[in-house]
Amino acid sequence: MIGRKSIPVAHPVLEGNEKKYVLECLESGWISSIGPFIGSFEESFARFCGATYAVSCNNGTSALHLALAALGAGPGDEIIVPTLTFVATANAVRYCGAQPVFVDSQACTMNLNPELLEEAVTGRTKGIIAVHLYGHSADMDGIQDVARRHRLFVIEDAAEAHGALYKGRPIGSLAHAATFSFYGNKILSTGEGGMVTTSDASLRDRLRLLRGQGMDPDRRYWFPIVGYNYRMTNVAAAIGLAQLEQVDRFLDQRRNMACKYEQCLAAVHNYVEIQTEQPWAKHAFWSYPVILRDSVAIRRDDVMKALEQDGIETRPVFHPMHTLPPYRNAVGEYPVADRLATRGLCLPMHGLLNEDDICYISHRLAHWCTGSGT
């Protein structure tokens, strides 16, 4: 059990073949971006996502940039993005010289509200990025309906949603491309790493070309285009493959923890809201966000400080993009995202937690939210 004075918000679980596979890399000398684990990890991850192909890269932001570049996003284009997301989603659009256009959230899922998409489309709109925030899928049918009407590409930003489902279909197989992160706090981790999944062979080829400096695969050191050095190492892929072998257990653990949180927090339903799993979704529970209701007098940041004194690490819900200095020229109002960001915090969620930890976290959160003393 984690000590009462040190419950981290996230922690990797490295209990499988990670050490064994990394040692194979070291002993063989294949430690850079060529080696057998890269292909094995890509093939296995594509199957896991229900996609035909997967293209590995060095991190999740690079994955987003590759997907956007491969789909032709460029200067003068607009890409619709939820305002409530991690900054990489909007930054990757800017990397391409395109302009992110922000859309407000649904209160229940915290994801992009498809009912607001139509009014965000202009003659310059090229595509939509649907973020599966904190592990809950976006409403992909609503998003795809708008995309089809306006001939827009769709990218799933699935950095936080390994193993989530939408209407029984795996996240990573629902759009032109999907992007994943394997940062140390993700459900599957390689330390740093990313992946793009697709079922389009020509898009896969374009992704591979861009990933490797633009070098012609049939003519060494010939570069027909300007590309990027976004390759994953064989060592990272070895860790990723070992993690993927354990993914069912990881997801079951997180679902069980989420159920325990829901049970423990039921008594303070009048004080906190949770990210509600919709009937059409299967949540991956990367994190466990809770929203303080308006009846809670104490500020969110003060709750986080109090929990820190209790030995519980938390994180604020992401700042909406339209509130950040690089994106403050955004036009529009985003009341749902503003409320979620101001009132929301993420509780610990990882494979080293147990039921006693979750009961303790929930008890202390309830204590501070209800103002029941010190």
pTM of the entire predicted model: 0.96
Q: Which of 285, 193, 180, 179 lies closest to 239 in space, CA to CA?
A: 193
Specify the domain boundaries for CATH 3.90.1150.10 within the chain.
247-369
For 49, the enclosing helix (H) or strand (E) is helix 36-49
| Phi and psi at residue 359, to the nearest 5° | -60, -40
Q: Please give the structure tokens belonging to residue 63.
A: 């994955």
From first CA to last CA, the distance across the chain in angstroms is 25
Q: Please give the structure tokens belonging to residue 267.
A: 């008594």
Contact 235, 22 (CB under 8 A): yes
Strand 78-82 to strand 125-131: parallel, antiparallel, or no bridges (unpaired)?
A: parallel
pLDDT at 371: 79
Contacts of 45 (CB under 8 A, 6+ apart): 54, 56, 180, 195, 197, 240, 244
pLDDT at 3: 44
- Provide the total of helices (H) and of strands (E) in the chain, helices listed first: 11, 14
What's the sign of the alpha-carbon dihedral 277, 294, 134, 166?
positive
pLDDT at 4: 53
d(CA 126, CA 79): 6
pLDDT at 232: 98
d(CA 189, CA 350): 12
Specify the domain boundaries for CATH 3.40.640.10 within the chain.
18-244
Top-level class of domain 18-244: alpha beta
Q: In what order do the strands lie in the sheet with 99-103?
A: 53-57, 194-198, 177-181, 153-157, 125-131, 78-82, 99-103
Which stretches of the chain score pLDDT less than 50?
1-3, 373-374
d(CA 101, CA 90): 9
| Homologous superfamily (CATH) for 247-369 | Aspartate Aminotransferase, domain 1 (3.90.1150.10)
pLDDT at 372: 62
pLDDT at 373: 47
Contacts of 78 (CB under 8 A, 6+ apart): 98, 99, 100, 101, 122, 124, 125, 126
Length reported for the chain: 374
Per DSSP, the three-state class of 10 is coil
Q: Please give the structure tokens belonging to residue 173.
A: 């197989």
Q: Please give the structure tokens belonging to residue 91.
A: 């930054």
